[in-house]
Amino acid sequence: MKMEALPSVKGDYNLGDYENTYKHFDWSEVEKEFTWSKTGKVNLAYEAIDRHAESFRKNKVALYYKDENRAEKYTFKELKEWSNKAANVIKEYGNIEKGDRVFIFMPRSPELYFAVLGAIKTGAIVGPLFEAFMEGAVRDRLTDSGAKVLITTQALISRVPVDELPDLKHIFLVGENIEETETQYDFMKKVAEADKNCSIEWVDRNDGAILHYTSGSTGNPKGVLHVHNAMIQHYQTAKWVLDLQEEDVYWCTADPGWVTGTSYGIFGPWLTGTSNVVVGGRFKPEFWYKTIEDYGVTVWYSAPTAFRMLMGAGDEAVKQYDLRSLRHVLSVGEPLNPEVVRWGMKVFNRRIHDTWWMTETGAQLICNYPSMLIKPGSMGKPIPGVEAAIIDDQGNVLPPNRMGNLAIKKGWPAMMHTIWNNEQKYESYFMPGDWYVSGDSAYMDEEGYFWFQGRVDDVIMTSGERVGPFEVESKLVEHPAIAEAGVIGKPDPVRGEIIKAFIALRDGYEPTQELIEEIRTFVKQGLAAHAAPREIEFREKLPKTRSGKIMRRVLKAWELNLPTGDLSSMED
């Protein structure tokens, strides 16, 4: 892949001196930023909200919320009070003790944020669930976690099989005209009546705060537990990587049902005292651009799929909005195609900064931080305090340019604490030498940049050549006819595997034999002959996770007539 570096856009950057900081940095330096370093009293929600509410930031807007029907804002002082009230309600009516699981199953709304912060203030472990989950997915997660309290909406409660959940004792509903019973309460009515002062439950740094369920390659959702201590890294990466400054207006487009929506939709921005924009409702390009214009968003964190969808909406749409406030744009969740980076340069005049991390890692690890030269297609370099390497299956560190397992040396503050109810699964992530093995394959170039190749189980071996599906997909989407592409290895008696591409075309293109030939030649010429898909199949849409990853597992199951496994994380 071409080693292209784009110049840095000027800004007041943190981490200007990466090399030096990398050499000398120690995570314990960050602790002094928090109240608990002096008082010994730890609570993530206190540090995120109350600390600012008791400072010069008390009347600064903490939350701008908007959807098609609502537009509201809350200062840090107001958010402190709302979350205190929520905490009092959850504690009193939910009978919550430290470590109990409180699940929150609702679409984005200010109430969701009151609930999350309030529950954390009670010392509970919060399990956020995507509103799109159907009954089976909700049941699995509430059962596995043994959730005692559920906060949901009147519209979603029908998807909660209450009778099959013996651990679930109390339900709070958000909505109109709620009928209260002994175990079911009108959340906002109770909140309105509650005291705005609350006594926060102080916890140990390693007590649980958030439980995110995520799907593994085996298909069983697993509960990844994060602890209060993760705040150290949320805070520091919000400074270094998001580059949040006092005057910034920050917008993270992720839902809190996904780890990006908590680590960087709640904690990163608020721990640094930043004004945080939350947009509810469905994706609509115009509404998104208007959000940037209306709030003067300066720092924007989104995902490749969203960028590609905006790209698909056309460059004319961009021109109708004033997006000049944007200072820093970031991406996470799946490979950021060089094509998208170039589009970002063209329409926003901003480089899109890729960041790599996982639900299990809790926070960003390998990143393009603002002062760094970007090589489009690379995830960047490990942040200070993080040691990353490419290792082989025996745990040996490989030299530059060799593809292998992307691994991280244990010891970063936001690392998962355990897998809920499954210590064995947790152990299985680690290799001798204290390496956390990500399940991603990648290589590192001579300059220390990391290049994503695919999930380990997705790597294609064709005629003895290793091919990363991402490289092929990236090339494919550069073709003008192609909107989306998913590439898998299809077993082949002669070649081991051949490359098969599933392709969704852009509007106005017809799936013809001619086009197939043209696409093959395009990849052959643009990438490598062995990387050109031998088989191409056109589909209306490709299966994707809610976080926008093309589900190759599902493509493979289609191809081989196998069961598709757990589809609870699928978009539709």
Q: At its nearest, how many Å lie between ligand WTA and the CB of residue 397?
A: 20
Of the pair 122, 568, the CB lying nearest ligand WTA is at 568
User: How does DSSP classify residue 10?
Assistant: P
Q: Does 452 bind ligand WTA (CB under 6 A)?
A: yes
- State in angstroms the smallest separation of the CB of 28 from ligand WTA: 25
Q: By C-beta, is 439 or 496 nearer to ligand WTA?
A: 439
Choices 41-49, 189-197, 229-237, 350-358 (CB under 6 A): range interacting with ligand WTA: 350-358
Shortest Cβ distance from residue 23 to ligand WTA (Å)?
Answer: 25
* Shortest CB 500 distance to ligand WTA, Å: 20
DSSP letters, 208-261, are: EEEEEEEE-TTS-EEEEEEEGGGHHHHHHHHHHTS---TT-EEEE---TTSHHH
Quick one: 128 or 273, whose CB is closer to ligand WTA? Answer: 128
Segment near ligand WTA (CB under 6 A), from 1-9, 39-47, 142-150, 351-359? 351-359
405 scored as a contact of ligand WTA (CB under 6 A) = no
**C-alpha–C-alpha distance, residues 337 and 550, integer Å:** 13
Query: How many chain residues interact with ligand WTA (CB under 6 A)?
Result: 21
Tell me if 184 contacts ligand WTA by CB under 6 A: no
In the complex, what is the shortest distance from the CB of residue 549 to ligand WTA, in angstroms, rounded to a whole number? 6
Which C-beta is closer to ligand WTA: that of 185 or that of 450?
A: 450
Dist CA 184 CA 178 (whole Å): 9
Kindly state whether residue 438 participates in binding ligand WTA, applying the rule CB under 6 A.
yes
Site for ligand WTA in 259-318 (CB under 6 A): 259-260
Least Å distance, CB 419 to ligand WTA, is 13
Counting contacts by CB under 6 A, is residue 333 touching ligand WTA?
A: yes
Among 150, 278, 279, 358, binds ligand WTA (CB under 6 A): 358
Single-letter amino acid code for the residue at 226: H
Which burial class, exposed, middle or buried, applies to 101 when counting CB atoms under 10 A from its CB (0-12, 13-18, 19+)? buried
- Residue selected from 243, 334, 339, 471 as contacting ligand WTA according to rule CB under 6 A: 334
Smallest gap from residue 263 Cβ to ligand WTA (A)? 8
**359 counts as binding ligand WTA under rule CB under 6 A:** yes
Instruction: Closer to ligand WTA by CB, 171 or 460: give it.
Output: 460
**What distances in angstroms separate CA 455 from CA 140, 436, 449, 480, one per listed residue?**
25, 15, 18, 26
> 360: which 2 tokens?
């299990």
Residue from 42, 174, 332, 374 that binds ligand WTA (CB under 6 A)? 332
Of 379, 391, 419, 515, the one binding ligand WTA by CB under 6 A: 379
Beta carbons within 8 Å of 177's beta carbon, 6+ residues apart: none
Contact (CB, 8 A) for 374 and 352: no
* Pairwise CA distance, residues 147 & 121, whole Å: 17
C-alpha–C-alpha distance, residues 119 and 98, integer Å: 10
Q: How far is CA 243 from the centre of its chain?
A: 17
Is 548 among the residues that bind ligand WTA (CB under 6 A)?
A: no
Question: Residue 271's closest CA among 415, 122, 117?
Answer: 117
Of 236, 355, 368, 568, the residue at the interface with ligand WTA (CB under 6 A) is 355
Q: Is 59 or 218 the residue whose CB approaches ligand WTA more closely?
A: 218
- Closest to 376 in 3D by CA, of 358, 354, 357, 356: 354
The nearer residue to ligand WTA, 148 or 222, going by C-beta atoms, is 222
3-state helix, strand, coil in the chain (%, to 5): 35, 25, 40
Alpha-carbon distance of 168 to 150, in angstroms, equals 7
Q: Min. distance of Cβ 463 from ligand WTA in angstroms?
A: 25
Cβ neighbour number for residue 329 with a 10 Å cutoff: 21
120: number of Cβ within 10 Å: 30
How far apart (Å, rounded) are the C-alpha atoms in residues 88 and 328?
A: 38
Closer Cβ to ligand WTA, 86 or 379, answer by number: 379
Minimum separation from the CB atom of position 80 to ligand WTA (A): 28
In the complex with ligand WTA, the residue whose CB is nearer, 245 or 331, is: 331
- Whichever of 111 and 484 has its CB closer to ligand WTA, that residue is 484
Residue from 82, 356, 435, 436 binding ligand WTA (CB under 6 A): 356
Residue 331 CB, nearest distance to ligand WTA (Å)?
Answer: 7
Q: Please select the residue that binds ligand WTA; options are 143, 214, 371, 422, rule is CB under 6 A.
A: 214
Residue 60: CB minimum distance to ligand WTA, A: 28
The CA R_g of the chain, rounded to the nearest whole Å, is 23
d(CA 538, CA 511): 7
- Would you state the structure tokens that stand for residue 492, as one six-digit string? 């082949």
Residues 6 or more apart in contact with residue 399 via CB below 8 angstroms: none
Q: How far is the CB of 511 from ligand WTA (least distance, A)?
A: 28
Strands (DSSP E) found in 383-523? 388-391, 404-409, 418-419, 430-431, 435-444, 450-455, 460-462, 465-467, 482-492, 496-505
Stretch that binds ligand WTA, among 168-176, 236-244, 334-342, 490-498 (CB under 6 A): 334-342
Out of 131, 339, 440, 473, the only residue in the binding site for ligand WTA (CB under 6 A) is 440
* Dist CA 321 CA 292 (whole Å): 8
Least separation, in Å, of the C-beta of 360 and ligand WTA? 7
Residue 209 interacting with ligand WTA (CB under 6 A): no
Q: Does residue 245 touch ligand WTA according to CB under 6 A?
A: no
Distance of CA 509 to the CA centre of its chain: 32
Q: Which of 335, 370, 469, 489 binds ligand WTA (CB under 6 A)?
A: 335
For residue 305, give the 3-state DSSP assignment. Answer: helix
Q: Which residues, at least 6 apart from 36, have a Cβ–Cβ distance to it below 8 Å?
A: 42, 47, 205
Q: Compute the distance between CA of residue 377 and CA of residue 400 in angstroms, rounded to an integer.
A: 17
Binding site for ligand WTA (CB under 6 A): 214, 259-260, 332-336, 354-359, 379, 438-440, 452, 455, 547
